[in-house]
Amino acid sequence: MKDTMKDYQAYLFDLDGTLVNSEPLKAQALSMACKDYGVTVDQNIYKAVMGENWETVTGHFFLHAGISPSVSEFNLHFRTYYEALLSDQVSLNSGALRYIESLRAAGKPCAIVSSAASWMVEQILEDLAINHLFDVVITQEDVSKHKPDPQAYTFALHHLALPATAAVVFEDSSAGVLAGIQSGCDVIAFAHDFNGQNDFSQALQVIQNYDDLMPVQR
């Protein structure tokens, strides 16, 4: 049965995993980049660090691969693969487009609040042609502190000129949920195949499909 959710004034979405299926693609690109160093690494090890900062993610893969390249060098390999995978395979999670379009039709501001680099966010929004659906887009370069720090969400709220109590956050990682909670917002967690090890106990609700949410009344 669908749960009726409070009618918030604004809706703030993490991007990777939460709105789009990019986390498995990111895992695949990380594994492919390791292969360039002559090592085969199971992409599923990404599940243990999904949602962590990039230094932690790359360090996890370096440890399993037994390699020690510079992160900047490794990132060039990763970016080549990730851009190609995004262009070919990125898609919105089930029900996400219908849900966001219903919010926009009801006059609700929406924002992207991502810890990913700007180039990743920009490519996804452009590939899916959904830039126009968001009033505010916050990326890694816009803040000095990253999730679980709430800075990105408080920055988005500042841009929207709204208090935290007027907004709801959608996240798919422990760090993201904590960032949303610490910003003062309610949080909805999105569960998928790559985030089963994350803690969603503080989330108001956990969904696997945006159709699980009642549409905004209008």
| Residues 111 and 190 placed together within one structural domain of the fold | yes
> How deeply is 152 buried, as exposed, middle or buried, from its count of CB atoms within 10 A (0-12, 13-18, 19+)?
buried
Residue 125 CA to residue 122 CA, distance in Å, equals: 5
3-state secondary structure of 50: coil
User: Which amino acid is located at 75 in the chain?
Assistant: N
Q: Which residue has 């956990």 as its token pair? A: 206
User: Which amino acid is located at 11 in the chain?
Assistant: Y
Backbone angles phi, psi at 27, to 5 degrees: -60, -40
Where a domain ends, among 62, 89, 116? 89
| Residues 111 and 183 placed together within one structural domain of the fold | yes
Which tokens go with 4?
Answer: 């009726």
Residue pLDDT tens, the chain, 218 long: 345 578 899 999 999 999 999 999 999 999 999 999 999 999 999 999 998 889 999 999 999 999 999 999 999 999 999 999 999 999 999 999 999 999 999 999 999 999 999 999 999 999 999 999 999 999 999 999 999 999 999 999 999 999 999 999 999 999 999 999 999 999 999 999 999 999 999 999 999 999 988 554 44
Where a domain ends, among 42, 70, 89? 89
What CATH number does residue 122 fall under? 3.40.50.1000
**Could you tell me the residue range of the domain that residue 165 belongs to?**
10-21+91-212
Residue 75 CA to residue 79 CA, distance in Å, equals: 6
Distances (CA, A) of 158 to 89, 134, 151, 167: 34, 15, 10, 12
| Residues 27 and 103 placed together within one structural domain of the fold | no
Q: Is residue 2 part of a domain?
A: no
Number of domains in the chain: 2
What CATH number does residue 52 fall under? 1.10.150
pTM: 0.93
Residue 26 CA to residue 81 CA, distance in Å, equals: 9
| Residues 76 and 184 placed together within one structural domain of the fold | no
Where a domain ends, among 69, 89, 109? 89
DSSP element (H, E) containing 127: helix 118-127
b/e code 28-58 from CB counts within 10 Å (16+ = b): bbbbbbbebbeeebebebbbebbbbebeebb
Q: Is residue 75 part of a domain?
A: yes
| Residues 14 and 63 placed together within one structural domain of the fold | no
